[in-house]
Amino acid sequence: MTHRTFSKTLSANDVGSTGGHQGGILIPKSEGELLTFLPPLDATVKNPDAWIDCEDEMGTLRKFRFVYYNNKLHDVGGTRNEYRITYMTKYFREIGAKEGEELEISKGVASSTYKIRVVRTNVPQQDEQEADVVRIKIKSGWRRVH
């Protein structure tokens, strides 16, 4: 296999429309194939990370941080034990990404640069009554494309 692609349905929190603090896009530990697609991180180190170079749909090179927040394994009273990709908020704002659209990330085996793009979908517009309603969907949203 020379090329792999994964996609995630973007949540309101992912694109910053909830106004809350965003810790980055969650990569569930159960997504083993996706985790092997991303750079390896050493769990014996507290909060290991790797910067990943990504070329977006406009050809702009962007750097995102892949991090394993693991203070639960290293600190008494630590609570975090999760993988995330951070530093994406600016990208999402610049391209006007919306909740319900798809983030795709792909990479060829011989490449060190990932490709990212937001796949636009027909996201239904909210009417005025729903404009103040915040919907929270708790799910991974990640899937293997090909």
130 DSSP β-pair partners: none
- The total number of structural domains in the chain stands at 1
Structural domain contains residue 55: yes
32-60 pLDDT tens trace: 999 999 999 999 999 999 999 999 999 99
State how far the alpha carbon of 26 is from the alpha carbons of 8, 31, 41, 125, 128, in Å: 10, 10, 15, 25, 30
Element of type H or E holding 71: helix 71-74
Can you give the CATH number for the domain in which 7 is found? 2.40.330.10
pLDDT digits (tens, 9 = 90+) for 75-134: 999 998 999 999 999 999 999 999 999 999 999 988 999 999 999 976 555 555 555 554
Domain of residue 10: give its range: 1-121+138-142
Which whole-number Å values give the CA distances from 6 to 14, 23, 39, 43, in the listed order?
16, 20, 15, 23
Contact predicate 63/82, CB 8 Å: no
